[in-house]
Structure 1
Amino acid sequence: MGPRGGKLRRSNFRDDWIRARTAAGVSEDAHFHDLRHTGNTLASQNGASTRELMTRMGHSSTRAALIYQHITSDRDRAIADRMGEAVRKALGRQDPPPEASGTQVAQPD
């Protein structure tokens, strides 16, 4: 809500954003639009599909949704681990993944 309960407008939003940011202890380097990046990243890291991100964040196209998706090394590791589990299951193996990555040809003796 804007001043006196009215609509937020571009002209009065900045002051409200600064007050909220300061009250939350967020750096003045943070911009309101940064919240969109954070929301998209957190949702995608927690399993949201592109369609779900589009709905939640109000994107009108998949291209817009993909712009905000960021991969992290933790998420990349989780994806690789799940793919490995699926392959081991399909091959009927229950052994844990090896410590070293790469093929035997690529690994030194």
Structure 2
Amino acid sequence: MAQRAKLKTSARISRSNAQMTCTLNDAQVFKTLETLQDVDPDVDLVFLDGWKGLYNGVLDVLLPKLKRGAIVIGDNINLSEGKEYFARVSASNSGFITTALNRNTTISVFVDQQGEPS
């Protein structure tokens, strides 16, 4: 990675009456992203359902490995950090054709510069 920005991702998880706070530090976040660099090329399906603040970072790492026509599913995009990802893949120059399946989930198809899957 060319430049490492300071990242700290936190989440509050609530089930029943139990609550837990999880924090990923810089080293853990970047280890996750570095692990994805080892993924073989020609990825045809990505399902994003993890730390919403990492969706764009994961996409940055996997983008060069996506086959044209690959499907990328983003879950829980209605949450604040997921909205940044949705704005990115919905932009007209993103390289994706994106639609919301419901208020929480998007499906995007990776396309070439002419906007057609190959």
Smaller-chain TM-score range?
A: under 0.3
Higher RCO, Cα 8 Å, sep 6+: 2
TM-score by length of 2: 0.22
TM-score by length of 1: 0.23
Q: Which has the larger radius of gyration?
A: 1
Flag the structure with higher strand content. Answer: 2
